[in-house]
Amino acid sequence: MAPTDSVLSEYLRQQKPKKEEEGEEPSWKDRPLHGMYHRQIEEVADIQKSYQWLDKAGLKDSTEALIMAAQEQALSTRSIEVGVYHTRQDPRCRLCKDAPETIQHITAGCKMLAGRGYMERHNQVAGIVYRNICAEYGLEVPRLKWETPPRVVENDRAKILWDFQIQTDKMVVANQPDIVVVDKQKKTAVVIDVAVPNDSNIRKKEHEKLEKYQGLREELERMWRVKVTVVPVVIGALGAVTPKLDEWLQQIPGTTSEISVQKSAVLGTAKILRRTLKLPGLW
Ligand SMILES: [Zn+2]
């Protein structure tokens, strides 16, 4: 009725914030705590892709909510209980007692979680890539999601190594990548290493992985007489990915989508958070 009623239209005019005021309204991204994640990944990640799992992964609402809460530091870690709620004195991690218990620490920095929680998450992500490679070459795909692949599988088209320590003549920095695929017809090999670090570290981690396997690449080219490519597959613990992830994935035989590895990483993190923070059933 506003267009014909002068009182109503005046009321609406006064209710509407003025344009310049709208601009001054601080966005959630500027908030010190809630906006921290977004600011951190803005510098290293493809922002649109880093949030695409919300649209496309088909996760349960509760899992989406949990990961979003983790991004905004809105979960009761000990560090938050000390600094924000003032309900606790000691901010140190309940598991390792070594570092302040922040979301970043729990999701990718705690040594007590390295052996089990992080390893499990890492192997789930690597397992997706592995299965797709097997399927591409007509090799038997491990049936169960939790099954650890055999160290070596082979047919006349390809040979795939899983977490296999490769003997080289010359000493190299690293000789046990997650996956190595040798394409016997094309005479190529791809060395793949997976990581799920803190989201702010994804770009650094990609570089690290590339560097780490250059020695092995040279040795393999010499010993096996194949062209070798090193491919890092890096997903942030809360889903962030670099603009290059898709390019990397395309260098791996078979078809592995960004969303499939992102989903797996985020699910792994949700499990770690639920277990460690002993979150109530709602989450
Ligand atoms: Zn810890």
d(CA 132, CA 135): 5
142 vs 178, more confident: 178
Q: Is the pLDDT of residue 80 over 60?
A: yes
- Whether the CB-CB separation of 191 and 151 falls below 8 Å is answered with no
Q: How far is the CA of 111 from the centre of ligand 1 (A)?
A: 6
Q: How far is the CA of 198 from the centre of ligand 1 (A)?
A: 14
Q: How far is the CA of 77 from the centre of ligand 1 (A)?
A: 11
Q: How far is the CA of 234 from the centre of ligand 1 (A)?
A: 22
Q: How far is the CA of 261 from the centre of ligand 1 (A)?
A: 25
pLDDT band at 18 (very low <50, low <70, confident <90, very high): low
Closest by CA position to 129, among listed 181, 174, 175: 181
Q: How many CB atoms lie within 10 A of CB 100?
A: 17
pLDDT band at 22 (very low <50, low <70, confident <90, very high): low
Question: How far does Cα 138 stand from its chain's mean position?
Answer: 28
Q: How far is the CA of 276 from the centre of ligand 1 (A)?
A: 10
Q: How far is the CA of 202 from the centre of ligand 1 (A)?
A: 20
